[in-house]
Chain A
Amino acid sequence: MTLSPDQTILFELWGIPLNATLFYTWVVMAFLTIVSLLITRNLRPDVPPNRWRTTLEVIVQGIQSQIEEISRRPSRHLLYYVGTLFLFVATSNLLLVVPGFEPPTSSLSTTTALALSVLIAVPMFGVNSRGVGGYLKTYLEPSVIMLPFNIISEFSRGISLAIRLYGNIMSGAVIAVILLGVAPFFFPVVLDLLGLLTGMIQAYIFAILATVYISTATTPSRPTQTQKDSQ
């Protein structure tokens, strides 16, 4: 039994072995890009919107409204980042219904990569919003004693994100493999439906948590008691 698609080598490209995680990631990327390209190629103000364009607008505006509800600050860069996170994870999990497709999110390497990207994005958005000094100062709040705890908290966020996403997707795959051995003609359908549901929920949770982390870094902190006294 292979738990991670990283161990499945599909073919070699210029001598470099390509595993299933990378291949299916590219499939997802190609799918999202082509669908976006097809829908938005005739997107002009003089052309009335069709149902596909309206669907995309609903998705994009839904993501934007969710981000604005959490961060209270409309930001297109945050939309690009968090929206891509959500669409990638959601599409990967939805394509689970395609026979033979292995979602890249069931690889710990993929979830680790996404968690690392969030880990890097949080200080980048924080520095962009509050400046280097302002962002680093957040590690000293509410006092200098909290510095190691804030650093641990920062890393534990990324680790928890990665483990949560991986665990959910992988557990679904593991349970499917086990149950296939028990009742091969009944459980796959139910598990596929369950996988779709948990996949969408995980994509939503992952994107929401990333937004919360980034918003925490970009939102000005409340003044401490010492700052209030000095004012």
Chain B
Amino acid sequence: MSIDWITVAAQIANFLVLVWLLKRFLYRPILDGIDAREAEIASRMQEAVQARHKAEQAEAEYRQKLRSQQSQDADLSEAIRKAAEDKRDAILADAREQQERERALWLTQRDDEAREYAQKLHHVGAEALLSLTRKALGDLADDTLEARMAAQLIRKIGPMAADLRTAAGAAAGAVIYSHAPLPPGVTDRLTSGLAPLFPEVALEFRTDPEQAPGLVLRIGGAQVAWTLDSYIDGLEARVADRLTAAPEPGGPDHGQ
């Protein structure tokens, strides 16, 4: 075991050369590469942080827009709902108004129809009553209706003749109205019957188709009448009572 000092010196020189060679071809490229990569990674991380920051800003803006849009949607929905309610109310009001109008029209028509029906009933009832009365009088008493009406009128005027003369005052004539022309016998009977009661009054006979069957005496401002109206009114009242009285359910009429 010996030390060759020449070899030692050469090895020291070799080692220093190797240090330089490795520094030139190994350490510097490797460390520079690592530093460059670290710088690149740091740069990319910085870019990533910036990108994340931008993304967060974009997200915040998007959320803000979304909230604004939702608020607008809510306002719009509220406005639409309000408009729909107003429209519904208007349509309902129109419908109610239309219904009221139709109901009023229907009531008017019903009243007209009722009135027309009453008039028809009145007319038909009067004619039927007149015809039946005339027939009954002819069959049973061998008398005419006009003659019995004249007699009734004369009998009715008798107790009130003084009042009628007072009411007539200075009237020179009296008029007897009838629904149809009176037979000559009836006019003579009336003339003769009323002459004692009103000796200074001229009697005149006229017809009025609008008048109910019967006789009406008009003298001055006074009037005495006997017509079938009261009978017709009684007939109408009885018919109305029978119509308004609803038949009981399960009753004998209903069951049959």
Residues in chain A within 8 A of chain B (CB atoms): 3-4, 6, 19, 21-22, 25-26, 29, 32-33, 36-37, 40, 43-45, 49, 53, 56-57, 60-61, 76, 79-81, 83-85, 87-88, 104, 107-110, 112-114, 116-117, 170
Interface positions of B from 70 to 123, Cβ below 8 Å from A: none
If A45-B33, A60-B31 touch, does A113 touch B25 (CB 8 Å cutoff)? no
Q: Are A43 and B29 in contact (CB under 8 A)?
A: yes
Prevailing SS type, chain B contact patch: helix
Q: Does B51 contact A (CB under 8 A)?
A: no
**B-side contacts of A56, CB under 8 Å:** 26, 30
Q: Give the CA-CA distance A45 to B4 in the complex, in Å.
A: 46
B32 (CB) vs chain A CBs: closest residue = A43
Which interface residue of A40, A53, A61, A81 has the most chain B CB atoms within 10 A?
A: A40
Q: Are A60 and B15 in contact (CB under 8 A)?
A: no
**A-side contacts of B23, CB under 8 Å:** 80, 84
Q: Are A29 and B18 in contact (CB under 8 A)?
A: yes
Query: Which of B4, B18, B29 contacts A109, CB < 8 Å?
Result: B4
Q: Does B8 contact A (CB under 8 A)?
A: yes
Q: Give the CA-CA distance A81 to B19 in the complex, in Å.
A: 6
**A-side contacts of B15, CB under 8 Å:** 84-85, 88, 113-114, 117
**A-side contacts of B12, CB under 8 Å:** 113, 116-117
- What would be 20 A-B contacts, judged by CB atoms less than 8 Å apart? A6-B7, A19-B4, A22-B11, A25-B11, A29-B14, A32-B18, A33-B25, A36-B29, A40-B29, A40-B33, A44-B33, A45-B36, A53-B30, A80-B27, A83-B22, A104-B11, A108-B1, A109-B4, A114-B11, A116-B8
How far apart are B11's CB and chain A's nearest CB, in angstroms? 3
Kindly count the residue-residue contacts between A and B in the assembled complex, taking CB atoms under 8 Å apart: 113
Q: Does B37 contact A (CB under 8 A)?
A: yes
Interface positions of B from 219 to 247, Cβ below 8 Å from A: none
Q: Are A76 and B31 in contact (CB under 8 A)?
A: yes
* Contact flags B161-191 to A (C-beta < 8 A → 1, else 0): 0000000000000000000000000000000
**B-side contacts of A37, CB under 8 Å:** 25
**A-side contacts of B16, CB under 8 Å:** 117
- Enumerate the 4 nearest inter-chain pairs by beta-carbon distance, A residue then B residue, closest first: A113-B11, A40-B29, A36-B26, A109-B7
Interface positions of B from 1 to 52, Cβ below 8 Å from A: 1-5, 7-12, 14-19, 21-23, 25-27, 29-31, 33-34, 36-37, 40
How far apart are B191's CB and chain A's nearest CB, in angstroms? 148
Query: Which of B8, B30, B36, B40 contacts A113, CB < 8 Å?
Result: B8
If A40-B30, A60-B30 touch, does A21 touch B7 (CB 8 Å cutoff)? yes
A32 (CB) vs chain B CBs: closest residue = B22
Q: Are B30 and A26 in contact (CB under 8 A)?
A: no
How far apart are A58's CB and chain B's nearest CB, in angstroms? 10
**B-side contacts of A87, CB under 8 Å:** 22
**B-side contacts of A4, CB under 8 Å:** 1-2
Q: Give the CA-CA distance A29 to B17 in the complex, in Å.
A: 9
How far apart are A74's CB and chain B's nearest CB, in angstroms? 11
How far apart are B185's CB and chain A's nearest CB, in angstroms? 147
Q: Give the CA-CA distance A30 to B143 in the complex, in Å.
A: 171
Q: Are B7 and A36 in contact (CB under 8 A)?
A: no
How far apart are A52's CB and chain B's nearest CB, in angstroms? 11
Query: Which of A43, A107, A170 contacts B7, CB < 8 Å?
Result: A107
Q: Are B27 and A76 in contact (CB under 8 A)?
A: yes
Q: Are A110 and B21 in contact (CB under 8 A)?
A: no
If A25-B11, A45-B37, A116-B12 touch, does A88 touch B18 (CB 8 Å cutoff)? yes
If A32-B18, A40-B25 touch, does A57 touch B30 (CB 8 Å cutoff)? yes
Q: Are A40 and B1 in contact (CB under 8 A)?
A: no
Query: Which of B14, B22, B26, B33 contacts A26, CB < 8 Å?
Result: B14
How far apart are A48's CB and chain B's nearest CB, in angstroms? 10
List 11 extra interface pairs beyond A43-B33, A56-B26, A109-B5, CB under 8 A: A4-B1, A22-B11, A25-B11, A25-B14, A29-B14, A29-B21, A43-B30, A44-B33, A60-B31, A83-B22, A108-B3
